């Protein structure tokens, strides 16, 4: 995720900004930049790659001891990593600069209208529209221009803005993207996207809330409401976190933080693509015409590990709602079998990292055979995205824990959007159904957000009871069968407990032989069309003295009677259960791994990005 650092005060700004950015490196980034004021002019340096490149560049530079400036580390979302796309971005005159975190959803429209007014764009980013939009509103006060400009903006932003004609101030503003301000009694104000950047300098902070803006000067800091311009009284808070805690926003591990970030990641993935009123989905990034999409005869999904589980869920969705045959392959198998592909097939490689060697090899084979390749990926500019004909990006932000959590539920979100989109283009989903499914997705993030803390608590007794087990069995059916696979993978990855996921109907074809008191069985039993079937399978386990954890619908009292532990989830649209039912399984794995003293974020023998075969 991008990082912002800004400073105005009595000290030299360049070392403060560089040190602050270094402390945000853990968030992941692919380019960096800095701007400061020297002799009344803004001086800007940017480069692709690691911060070390920028630091090296700055060693040769005479910054004139500047006392005001901004810095940014960019994690690409619109346009690949490059110097031109790195922040800060300038207006036409070069007198105004912006650094930005978040996504400007209506940037296409804004860019077109600004271009028509004569603004010249030099990057592919959504951020650059902000610089030109503020320029458009600028008269003699920067804060006022920022407030007016952001009224036209849809999406999320944390902003740092600077103008050479008001050289004593920085403007900060936020909407749905965090921004924290730091103050020092002896003068000097800071802004940062995250607390670690501030810790070497101050522990006195002010958290900006959504739709607030601040004017930072050496000796004053004022906060205003962005919408009505009224001043806002803010409380200064003292941070007592150490650096490690601050990087994880107070969570013990990145994995836990990322589990809790899922509502935002899901929201970011559908926002701007799904009309909340009609359920209509727009995915221009697919770059295929409606005619081409109607001519597709088959979809082939290719992925590894957790991403393969997302593909398995999508098969249920696509076949049900689009009525198109879907095949799903593990990429390492796909690449070594005879592939019957051609121009009428869409191949969809799914990869969080965009660098997985087997998935990439599959993509290349598919292209050679003339298939259309549309990837689903979380990392902009990664190899898989560069080599695909089009990419649907998940907007989960960088995932640092090796065990994939928010990237998985974002992949599911992207695949659900794709299902709606294809169903709408091919007219297999009636308008009323689109509205219903779209509404269900829009409601999901808030619902997950509400359930997360309770679910985390509920895992403690289950973990105490089963955390020392040697084996685990996960059962599911239908679109929740892949979620059983994912639950088992999560547990084995981070706790080193042997775990298997099975389609519940397969139980009596072998695995039932394993059932005894030492084999906990977790089954997913939402009140869907196969509910009774799974309950029968669970009864078979109970009859053999198996110990049972059931995850099902709130209000289904039968579950508590059958199971040793029942985890209840709210009733949502059945189609979205795979996303919701993933959450308690992630939390259970986390709790168990943590209790067993495992290295949750970097489990043994695993890599975040598997770039070898």
Nearest residue (beta carbon) to ligand AGP: 305
CB of 607 to ligand AGP, least distance (A): 8
The window from 104-112, 263-271, 299-307, 319-327 that contacts ligand AGP (CB under 6 A) reads 299-307
| Selected binder of ligand AGP within 268, 353, 375, 537 (CB under 6 A) | 353
The tokens 């990392």 sit on which residue? Answer: 379
The window from 140-148, 183-191, 275-283, 603-611 that contacts ligand AGP (CB under 6 A) reads 603-611
Interface of this chain with ligand AGP, residues 498 to 557, rule: CB under 6 A: none
CA distance 133 to 173: 15
CA distance 605 to 339: 32
Q: Is 92 a catalytic residue?
A: no
Give me the 444-483 binding string for ligand AGP, x by CB under 6 A, dash otherwise.
----------------------------------------
Q: 3-class secondary structure for 17-41?
A: HHHHHHCCHHHCCCEEEEEEEECCE
For residues 23 and 209, the answer to whether their CB atoms sit within 8 Å is no
The tokens 């069968």 sit on which residue? Answer: 481
Residues 6+ apart with CB under 8 A from 205: 180, 181, 182, 183, 195, 198, 236, 237, 238, 239
The tokens 């990292």 sit on which residue? Answer: 353
Q: Does 495 bind ligand AGP (CB under 6 A)?
A: no
| Selected binder of ligand AGP within 305, 397, 482, 584 (CB under 6 A) | 305
Q: Does 307 bind ligand AGP (CB under 6 A)?
A: yes
Q: Does 304 bind ligand AGP (CB under 6 A)?
A: yes
Q: Does 610 bind ligand AGP (CB under 6 A)?
A: yes
What is the spatial order of strands in the sheet that 212-216 belongs to? Answer: 89-90, 96-101, 157-163, 170-175, 212-216, 221-225
Report the relative pairing of strands 204-207 and 237-238 from DSSP bridges.
antiparallel
Q: Is 608 a catalytic residue?
A: yes
- For ligand AGP, how many residues bind (rule: CB under 6 A)? 16
CB of 610 to ligand AGP, least distance (A): 5
For residue 316, give both structure tokens. Answer: 């249920």
Nearer to ligand AGP, 383 or 434 (CB): 383
Nearer to ligand AGP, 150 or 491 (CB): 491
Helix, strand, or coil (residue 349): strand
CA distance 551 to 126: 41
Nearer to ligand AGP, 402 or 585 (CB): 402
Q: Does 352 bind ligand AGP (CB under 6 A)?
A: yes
Q: Does 383 bind ligand AGP (CB under 6 A)?
A: no
Give me the 395-424 binding string for ligand AGP, x by CB under 6 A, dash otherwise.
-------xxx--------------------
CA distance 161 to 215: 10
Q: Which residues are catalytic?
A: 2, 608
Binding stretches for ligand AGP (CB under 6 A)? 304-307, 351-353, 356, 359, 402-404, 493, 606, 609-610
């Amino acid at each position: 995720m991008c990082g912002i650092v800004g400073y105005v005060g009595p000290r030299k700004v360049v070392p403060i900004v560089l040190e602050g950015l270094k402390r945000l490196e853990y968030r992941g980034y692919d380019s960096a930049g800095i701007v400061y004021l020297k002799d009344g002019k803004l001086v800007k340096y940017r480069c692709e790659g690691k911060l070390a490149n920028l630091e090296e560049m700055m060693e040769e530079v005479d910054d004139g001891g500047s006392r005001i400036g901004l810095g940014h580390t960019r994690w690409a979302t619109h346009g690949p990593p490059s110097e031109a796309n790195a922040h800060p971005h300038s207006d036409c005159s070069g007198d105004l600069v912006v650094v930005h975190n978040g996504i400007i959803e209506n940037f296409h429209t804004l860019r077109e209208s600004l271009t028509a007014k004569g603004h010249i764009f030099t990057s592919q980013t959504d951020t650059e529209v902000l610089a030109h939009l503020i320029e458009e509103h600028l008269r003699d006060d920067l804060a006022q221009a920022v407030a007016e400009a952001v009224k036209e903006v849809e999406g999320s932003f944390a902003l740092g803005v600077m103008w050479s004609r008001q050289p004593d101030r920085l403007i900060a503003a936020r909407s749905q993207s965090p921004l924290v301000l730091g103050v020092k009694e002896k003068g000097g104000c800071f802004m940062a996207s995250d607390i670690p950047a501030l810790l070497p300098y101050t522990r006195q902070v002010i958290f900006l809330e959504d739709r607030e803006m601040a004017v930072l000067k050496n000796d004053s800091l004022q906060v205003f409401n962005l919408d009505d311009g009224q001043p806002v009284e803010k409380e200064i808070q003292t941070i007592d976190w150490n650096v490690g805690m601050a990087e994880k926003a107070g969570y013990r591990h990145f994995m836990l933080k990322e589990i809790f970030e899922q509502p935002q990641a899901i929201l970011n993935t559908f926002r701007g693509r799904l009309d909340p009123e009609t359920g209509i989905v727009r995915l221009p990034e697919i770059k295929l015409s409606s005619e081409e999409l109607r001519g597709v005869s088959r979809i082939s999904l290719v992925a590894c590990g957790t991403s393969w589980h997302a593909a398995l869920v999508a098969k249920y969705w696509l076949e049900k709602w689009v009525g198109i045959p879907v095949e799903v392959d593990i990429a390492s198998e796909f690449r070594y079998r005879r592939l019957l592909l051609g121009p009428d097939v869409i191949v969809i490689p799914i990869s969080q990292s965009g660098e997985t060697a087997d998935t990439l090899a599959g993509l290349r084979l598919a292209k050679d055979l003339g298939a259309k390749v549309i990837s689903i990926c979380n990392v902009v500019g990664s190899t898989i995205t560069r080599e695909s004909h089009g990419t649907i990006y998940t907007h989960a932000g960088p995932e640092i824990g090796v065990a994939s959590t928010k990237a998985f539920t974002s992949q599911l979100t992207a695949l659900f959007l794709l299902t709606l989109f294809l169903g709408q283009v091919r007219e297999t989903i009636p308008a009323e159904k689109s509205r219903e499914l779209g509404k269900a997705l829009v409601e999901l993030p808030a619902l997950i957000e509400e359930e997360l803390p309770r679910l985390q608590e509920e895992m403690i007794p289950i973990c105490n009871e089963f955390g020392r087990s040697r084996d685990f069995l996960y059962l599911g059916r239908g679109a929740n069968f892949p979620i059983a696979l994912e639950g088992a993978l999560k547990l084995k990855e981070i706790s080193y407990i042997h775990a298997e996921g099975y389609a519940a109907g397969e139980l009596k074809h072998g695995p039932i032989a394993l059932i005894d008191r030492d084999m906990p069985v977790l089954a997913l039993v939402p009140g869907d069309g196969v509910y009774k079937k799974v309950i029968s399978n669970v009864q078979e386990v109970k009859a053999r003295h198996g110990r049972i954890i059931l995850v099902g619908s709130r209000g289904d009292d039968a579950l508590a009677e059958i199971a040793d532990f029942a985890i209840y989830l709210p009733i949502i649209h059945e189609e979205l259960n795979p996303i919701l039912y993933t959450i308690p399984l992630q939390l259970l794995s986390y709790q168990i791994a943590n209790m067993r003293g495992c290295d949750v974020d970097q489990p043994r023998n695993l890599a975040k990005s598997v770039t070898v075969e």
